[in-house]
């Protein structure tokens, strides 16, 4: 008795899929942007002269990289309300995903900071650059050029990790897959469709990242 | 500008997933196995998919052995066929896909049968009928389902379960919040992330008992669900044997006794009144 694939059985549910894909994309892109910002801050903390800041930054990275995202999502969604901090499923998932991803982003960005030769810091100081000017004009442009490709890996990791948000009631693509699979008992069909949707979403973000990178790191006119 | 190669690479990836799907399909169709009944009798074991965590239906003990109402039914079935039971501990998708890939001969896992689901697997006659009701915090102001609906409350439900249709039909003003497990639904109610949950009255009874003073049920029913044994579609001979087992298990009073043992009260009637 073979199993007959029937994608026709899934047609009635495809309307919900568009909304679910939008939710996955929105959640992932917001988490990516926020976690790059927080990760940059943590990476700078880890390079700070203050021992306390270095320690706090290191602690954050190790806690976030060594705890499962699912546990963090449960804590944000189920435990924080006990302390009076109540958030919607989407916001809970966004916070959990951002906190988790920022741990990885911080390490990627720190690697980029380490790659800037120490001589440049000394040279900038000798030229009278302030700390802000140093980072704005000399360090960060090099950092982002160095880490732009590895950052792409983490972007994709965030999109795929967003599938856990269904555990805290977010209606994203993994939620759609579970809901339609359980309704129709056609899990194989929903697995295949969800895989294709994630692949397309990851490629959209990836191609977007490449396009932005080309624009961001274009050669200055003088060198063309 | 994006390179042509980049776009080609993306397209190749998408095509690969499509091919993977086709390959799964092809391997499933290549199977031309003998009937399930013959396989079980030749093997001397029956492979039964059960849920790992749905007490009192089933749960896995610390020693790795499953126990519960569904597990006892599975053991009775093996006994009746004079073969050994072999349990496959599954989750919500796996209890279905185990049948479709023929990794399991039957699924006994609190399966609610309906026509849509029966297009991809087969169901026996029911061995249990449950009533879906609304579970609320004890201090909730709503007495009836109608009152709760008027207030537009947030109702936690299981993804793709009976509640998907039952809650919008009975409570059109309610906001639905979907979870993967009943444990998560209950957590949402207990932490105030949901105002109520829709589950069967056996589950609710157990939850009320385990959280004394914290929960109660609203008046009124949301849906009736028929719980049945699942089997791969297309094997009429195997369905014939399983239906005979279920009918005699119900008629003999064995079912009533097992139900009393695991749930602690008398089994409600299985026959519908219409």
**Within this chain, do residues B202 and B190 fall inside the same structural domain, yes or no?**
yes
| Average pLDDT of chain A, as a whole number | 94
Q: Give residue A4's pLDDT band: very low, low, confident or very high (50, 70, 90).
A: confident
Q: Which residue of B has its CA nearest to A198?
A: B14
**Within this chain, do residues B231 and B220 fall inside the same structural domain, yes or no?**
no
User: Quick one: tokens of B89?
Assistant: 């501990």
CATH number at residue B99: 3.40.190.10
**Within this chain, do residues B65 and B145 fall inside the same structural domain, yes or no?**
no
- Would you say residue B104 lies in a domain? yes
Global ipTM: 0.84
**Within this chain, do residues B118 and B66 fall inside the same structural domain, yes or no?**
yes
Q: Do A2 and B31 touch (CB under 8 A)?
A: yes
- Would you say residue B184 lies in a domain? yes
**Within this chain, do residues B143 and B121 fall inside the same structural domain, yes or no?**
no
At residue B28, does pLDDT exceed 80?
Answer: no
**Within this chain, do residues B220 and B194 fall inside the same structural domain, yes or no?**
yes
Cα–Cα nearest to B113, from B100, B97, B126 = B126
**Within this chain, do residues B201 and B93 fall inside the same structural domain, yes or no?**
no
- Would you say residue B251 lies in a domain? yes
- Would you say residue B269 lies in a domain? no
Residues of chain A contacting B121 with CB distance shorter than 8 Å: 185
- Would you say residue B66 lies in a domain? yes
The structural domains of chain A, ordered by start, are 11-223 (1.10.3720.10)
Residue A199 touches partner B, C-beta closer than 8 Å: yes
- Would you say residue B195 lies in a domain? yes
Cα–Cα nearest to B90, from B107, B73, B114, B65 = B107
CA distance A141 to chain B (A): 21
**Within this chain, do residues B79 and B156 fall inside the same structural domain, yes or no?**
no
Q: Give residue B191's pLDDT band: very low, low, confident or very high (50, 70, 90).
A: very high
**Within this chain, do residues B45 and B116 fall inside the same structural domain, yes or no?**
yes
Number of structural domains in chain B: 2
- Would you say residue B29 lies in a domain? no
Q: Do A179 and B121 touch (CB under 8 A)?
A: no
**Within this chain, do residues B88 and B146 fall inside the same structural domain, yes or no?**
no
Q: Give residue B20's pLDDT band: very low, low, confident or very high (50, 70, 90).
A: low
Q: Which residue of B has its CA nearest to A168?
A: B179
How would you write chain A as a 3-class SS string? Answer: CCCCCCHHHHHHHHHHHHHHHHHHHHHHHHHHHHHHHHHHHHHHHHCCCCHHHHHHHHHHHHHHHCCCHHHHHHHHHHHHHHHCCCCCHHHHHHHHHHHHHHHHHHHHHHHHHHCCCHHHHHHHHHCCCCHHHHHHHHHHHHHHHHHHHHHHHHHHHHHHHHHHHHHHCCCCHHHHHHHHHHHHCCHHHHHHHHHHHHHHHHHHHHHHHHHHHHHHCCCCHHHC
Of B20, B93, B184, the CB nearest to A181: B93
Which residue range is the domain that position B137 belongs to? 130-224
**Within this chain, do residues B60 and B183 fall inside the same structural domain, yes or no?**
no
Q: Do B93 and A183 touch (CB under 8 A)?
A: no
Predicted confidence at residue B34, as pLDDT, reads 81
Residues of chain A contacting B2 with CB distance shorter than 8 Å: 207, 210-211
Of B28, B97, B161, the CB nearest to A187: B97
**Within this chain, do residues B125 and B179 fall inside the same structural domain, yes or no?**
no
- Would you say residue B274 lies in a domain? no
Cβ within 8 Å of residue B192, ≥6 positions away: A81, A86, B137
List the 14-53 stretch of A: residues with Cβ below 8 A of B: none
Predicted confidence at residue B5, as pLDDT, reads 63
Q: What does the pLDDT look like over B110-146, one tens digit per residue?
A: 999 999 999 999 999 999 999 999 999 999 999 999 9
């Amino acid at each position: 008795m073979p199993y007959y694939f029937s994608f026709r059985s899934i047609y009635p549910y495809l309307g919900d899929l568009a909304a679910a894909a939008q939710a996955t994309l929105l959640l992932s892109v917001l988490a990516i942007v926020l976690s790059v910002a927080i990760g940059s801050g943590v990476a700078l903390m880890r390079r700070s002269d203050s021992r306390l800041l270095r320690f706090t930054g290191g602690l954050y990275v190790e806690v976030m990289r060594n705890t499962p995202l699912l546990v963090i999502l449960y804590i944000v969604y189920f435990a924080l309300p006990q302390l009076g901090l109540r958030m919607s499923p989407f916001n809970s998932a966004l916070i959990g995903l951002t906190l988790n991803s920022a741990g990885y982003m911080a390490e990627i960005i720190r690697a980029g900071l380490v790659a800037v030769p120490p001589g440049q810091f000394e040279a900038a100081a000798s030229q009278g650059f302030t700390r802000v000017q140093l980072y704005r004009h000399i360090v960060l442009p090099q950092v982002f050029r160095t880490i732009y490709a590895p950052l792409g890996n983490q972007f994709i990791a965030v999109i795929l990790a967003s599938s856990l948000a269904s555990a805290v009631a977010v209606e994203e693509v993994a939620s759609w897959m579970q809901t339609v699979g359980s309704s129709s008992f056609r899990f194989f069909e929903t697995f295949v469709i969800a895989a294709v949707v994630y692949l397309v979403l990851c490629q959209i973000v990836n191609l977007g990242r490449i396009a932005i990178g080309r624009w961001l790191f274009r050669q200055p006119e003088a060198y063309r | 500008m994006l390179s042509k190669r980049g776009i080609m690479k993306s397209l190749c990836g998408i095509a690969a997933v499509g091919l993977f799907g086709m390959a799964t399909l092809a391997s499933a169709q290549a199977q031309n196995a003998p009937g399930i009944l013959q396989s079980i009798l030749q093997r001397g074991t029956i492979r039964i998919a059960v849920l790992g965590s749905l007490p009192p239906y089933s749960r896995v003990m610390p020693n790795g052995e499953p126990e519960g109402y569904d597990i006892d039914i599975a053991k009775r079935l093996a006994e009746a066929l004079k073969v050994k039971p072999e349990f496959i501990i599954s989750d919500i998708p796996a209890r279905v896909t185990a049948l479709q890939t023929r990794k399991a001969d039957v699924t006994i896992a609190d399966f609610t049968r309906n026509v849509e689901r029966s297009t991809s697997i087969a169901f026996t006659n029911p061995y249990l009928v449950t009533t879906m009701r609304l579970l609320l915090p004890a201090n909730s102001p709503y007495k009836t389902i109608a009152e709760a609906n008027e207030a537009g409350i947030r109702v936690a439900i299981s993804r793709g379960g009976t509640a998907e249709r039952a809650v919008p039909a009975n409570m059109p003003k309610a906001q639905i919040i979907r979870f993967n497990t009943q444990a998560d639904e209950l957590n949402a109610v207990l932490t105030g992330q949901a105002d109520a949950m829709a589950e069967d009255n056996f589950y609710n009874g157990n939850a009320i008992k385990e959280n004394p003073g914290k929960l109660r049920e609203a008046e009124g029913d949301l849906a009736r669900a028929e719980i049945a044994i699942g089997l791969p579609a297309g094997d009429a001979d195997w369905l014939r044997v399983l239906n005979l087992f279920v009918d005699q298990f119900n008629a003999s009073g064995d079912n009533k006794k097992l139900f009393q043992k695991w749930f602690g009260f008398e089994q409600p009637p299985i026959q519908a009144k219409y």
